[in-house]
Structure 1
Amino acid sequence: MIKSKKLAHLLGTLALILTAGSVQSHGSAEINYVPGSGPVIRYPWKITMSSHDTVEFARHVGAKSADEPAQAEPLKGWTHFTDWVALTLTEPAMLTVEISAQPGLHYTTFNSETNTINDLLARGWLYPASSIYEGIDPITEVGHMYNPKGNFSAAINFLKYTEDIAGEQHISYKVLLKPGEYSIAIAGVNAKHCQPTNTECYDGRQGYRAKFTTQATPIRVP
């Protein structure tokens, strides 16, 4: 009998319904995907939300992008293997962030030496993690590593970190926010759940699906 997690992974892989950069939005939300480059925090996702919106999007991150075993604390995260969201919130809101592993997700790469485009399939075994910071920083040269559990750039202020502790390949968290700009990191902690010999799980690009939801709050946000 196939365990439920393996069955879900198999069905998702067979479906092959998503491509990297797939998006959906509801309400007044705006979402754009523009790949970045350079030695700074890259924000491929730029999202604007009010207090009654939903956005969903899918892409891929590095398996160990929030927790590199070979790296010393506190800089355990890989800056450029993490997906960064530049979120602009126009009203006070309760933000709910949900991130799940997504099998069957295609993406393309360009080989400049051969001048060819390659169609690839992201692995579907992500154990997700997410950090949220107040402010955005698209200009500071922060280097290859970052701190997913605290501050590492003077331009953004750490607020919250959540990771998949139970091995469910899913996380969900809520945070009460005032209007403004926020950096949200989407990453993986696969090294805490996978053996190094299991390269399909331990390494490589792992697909994810994210959902952001905002709700109006009668509480004044300080």
Structure 2
Amino acid sequence: MKVNSKIMTLISLLSASLSLTSNSVQAATVSFSDPVPEEGLSYEWTVQLDSDDTAEFSYYVGAKSWNEPANPVGLKGWTHTSNWVALELLEPTQLNIQIDRQPGVPTATDIAGDQLYPAFSLYKGWQNSGEEDHQYNTVGNTDWIDEISYLAHAANENLAISVFESLTLPAGLYSLSIGGNPPEDPSIVGFHGYSATLTTAPVPEPATSGLLFMAIGILGIATRRQSEVQK
């Protein structure tokens, strides 16, 4: 069965357009630095991601840095023993966050432990003014962190060695806190290593996707009519 060549040309052009949209030039940058070191949160990492990118890095955090049972409700995180990532998304994207336990991470004087139960929180914005306090809210907003707002978290309630979350986000600035949420075990103390993998995938543009679906629909109608004529 032959299909109208003009319709096939339209399909090809629209498919090529989608392909160009989804294959952005990779431009991930990862820096062990604070974008504004004088004030605000002490960020360990600055990461910039395009819409089709991957960033990987590793370091260490406190065993209970994301959830200290002795801290008051709403302030369970330890600010200074968590790691903070100043994340910038250059395009709207599907952001995948995976934090894994990582043995063998060096510290300034030794090797970090290998008993991390990773957890993380994601916030909108960067905190680049004011002074740090010792505790922060891992599952909501924090009064003294007034330039960022809570979006999501992965608590690792199953006590796994890896946590993962996927979110569709607009372009902009985000803050990611990485820490530990161990079981009630007095032997799990000190600092433990992690590895982080942040990947992005492009979000299809509605207009382009709609045109492709329209062209596919036209192709289906033309195919059915061709079949009816041949009958």
- TM-score class, shorter-chain normalisation, is 0.7 to 0.9
Consecutive unaligned residues in structure 1, runs of 5 or more: 1-25, 109-118
In structure 2, distance between residues paired with 1:161 and 1:177: 14
Between stretches 81-90 and 32-41, larger displacement belongs to: 32-41
Q: Is the 1:41–1:80 Cα contact (8 Å) retained in structure 2? A: no
Q: 1:141 to 1:107 in 2, by over 3 A?
A: same
Q: Identify the residue that residue 122 of structure 1 maps to in structure 2.
A: 112
- Deviation of the 1:142 alpha carbon: 3.6
Q: Which of the pair is proportionally richer in strand?
A: 1
Q: Identify the residue that residue 49 of structure 2 maps to in structure 1.
A: 49
In structure 2, distance between residues paired with 1:51 and 1:39: 29
Q: What are the Cα deviations for residues 155-193 of structure 1, in whole angstroms up to 9, with x where unaligned? A: 101000112111221100011110110000001111xx1
Q: Is the 1:66–1:188 Cα contact (8 Å) retained in structure 2? A: yes
- The structure having more radius of gyration, on CA atoms, is 2
TM-score, structure 2 length as denominator?
0.73
Between stretches 66-75 and 27-36, larger displacement belongs to: 27-36
In structure 2, distance between residues paired with 1:219 and 1:75: 39
Name which of 135, 151, 157 aligns with 1:145: 135
For the residue of structure 1 that corresponds to 2:80, the secondary structure is helix
Consecutive unaligned residues in structure 2, runs of 5 or more: 1-24, 207-231
Aligned length: 179
What pairs with 1:190-205 in structure 2 (closer than 5 Å)? 190=182, 193-196=183-186, 198=187, 202-205=188-191
Code of the aligned partner of 1:120: D
Q: Which of the pair is proportionally richer in helix?
A: 2
CA RMSD in angstroms, aligned pairs only: 1.8
TM-score, structure 1 length as denominator?
0.76
Q: Identify the residue that residue 31 of structure 2 maps to in structure 1.
A: 32
- Deviation of the 1:63 alpha carbon: 0.5
- Deviation of the 1:219 alpha carbon: 6.0
Structure 1 residue ranges, 4+ long, deviating more than 4 angstroms after superposition: 35-39
Q: Is the 1:40–1:143 Cα contact (8 Å) retained in structure 2? A: no
Q: Identify the residue that residue 204 of structure 2 maps to in structure 1.
A: 218
Q: What are the Cα deviations for residues 60-79 of structure 1, in whole angstroms up to 9, with x where unaligned? A: 00010111111110100000
* Aligned residues with identical type, % of pairs: 36
Matched, 1:159 2:151: yes
